[in-house]
A and B are shown apart, each in its own frame.
Chain A
Amino acid sequence: MSVMEQGTHSLIELLETIADNKYVLGDRLVEVGVSGPNLEATLSAIAMAQGELGHARLLYNWCFDLKGVKGKKPDIQAQTGKAFQTAVNVQNWISLIASLYAINAAIDIVFQTVLKTSHSKVASRIQKLVREQHDHIIYAENWAKQLLLDQGAVPYRFQEALREAAEEAKAWLAKVEKSEELKKEGYFPETPSFPEKFEKRLQQLNAEQLVQAK
């Protein structure tokens, strides 16, 4: 396999992982979000489900282009198996918000780095997605803070769900950062520090302090 082919293969792997997670998040936002804590939360969850599924469609179609698929793109019936297990296992509002926040925050860190590179064609594909995703992150972040300040076992359960989701997302970021092919192709700088940036963003949530203060 040539260097160029390896780079394309790695890019497809990256995009499919992101698409799979968005596909699963979209599905979970409908299944779990439909019985959200209040009407506003439910309506927002359904709207965001459409957003996440739209992002997944964009990324899958991009992968089809990279794979050389011509003409009408195939229908997407299922994820390719790269979605995080914590996202697949989302069964309630607490784990939904934890996954929505952790996954989109991790994806945002990767895409923000790619946007700063000279890959203008790549940047033009994701610009709109990144803008829309920002709204999803704000929503999840505000719900996260609300859950951390909730009553009874909720703050602890959320903290635990977030820890699990964040652990998986951070491990993925560390793996992505090691991809020599993506660096060689100029998608990332030599040391993008993805896990560190992710950790920093999580700290902004102040989860531990909020729970301890309860």
Chain B
Amino acid sequence: MQKQAVDTKKYWEALKEVMDPEFPISVVDMGLIYDIQMNDGEVHVTMTYTAVSCACMDWIESDIKNRLLAEEEVKEVHINVVWDPPWTVDRLSPEGREKLKYWGVSAK
């Protein structure tokens, strides 16, 4: 039986509550999340990091998993880290850009 794609908007919203440990900006506004798919209780998140050497990878992934698992219908979370397209500041959301500006961090 073909799996039905589920609207993932609520998961994008949920991940807006997961903050980057280094800046008070969500992983969504940082532009780290590339794609979210939901099938039969399994959420598949495709994401990247600002740098290959990001020291907070385990921390961020754990926060993402915990937040998504807080949704009743989510039974499993799979995270696929990709490096293409590479993250650049262009991926910041307007909200994320404003927050960085507020904290005096250049996003150019």
Contact = CB atoms under 8 A, between A and B. Distances in A.
Nearest to B52: A54
Interface string B36-60: 0000000000001001111100000
A50 B82 contact: no
A56 to B, nearest CB: 9
Contacts of B52: 51, 54-55, 57-58, 128-129, 132
Contacts of B82: 124
A131 interface: yes
Contacts of A132: 51-53
Interface in A45-93: 50-55, 57-58
A69 to B, nearest CB: 16
B54 A127 contact: no
Interface residues of B, number: 12
Give the interface size bracket for A toward B: 10 to 19
Interface string B13-57: 000000000000000000000000000000000001001111100
A64 B6 CA distance: 33
Interface stretch (B64-72, B83-91, B98-106): B83-91
Contact of A129 (B54, B83, B85): B83
B84 A123 contact: yes
Nearest to A26: B53
Chain B interface mostly helix, strand, loop or mixed?
loop
Chain A residues touching B, majority SS = helix
A76 B61 CA distance: 19
A54 B87 contact: no
A124 B53 contact: no
Nearest to A124: B84
Contact of B86 (A53, A57, A128): A128
Contacts of A125: 83-84
B83 to A, nearest CB: 4
Contacts of B86: 127-128, 131
A123 B85 CA distance: 11
B32 to A, nearest CB: 13
A124 B85 CA distance: 7
A128 B53 contact: no
Of B52, B84, B85, B86, most A-chain CB atoms within 10 Å: B52
26 contacts: A50-B55, A51-B53, A53-B53, A54-B51, A54-B52, A54-B53, A54-B55, A55-B53, A57-B53, A58-B52, A58-B83, A125-B83, A125-B84, A126-B83, A127-B83, A127-B84, A127-B85, A127-B86, A128-B48, A128-B83, A128-B87, A129-B52, A129-B83, A131-B86, A132-B51, A132-B52
Interface of B: 48, 51-55, 82-87
Interface of A: 50-55, 57-58, 123-129, 131-132
Nearest 3 CB-CB pairs, A to B?
Answer: A54-B53, A124-B84, A128-B86
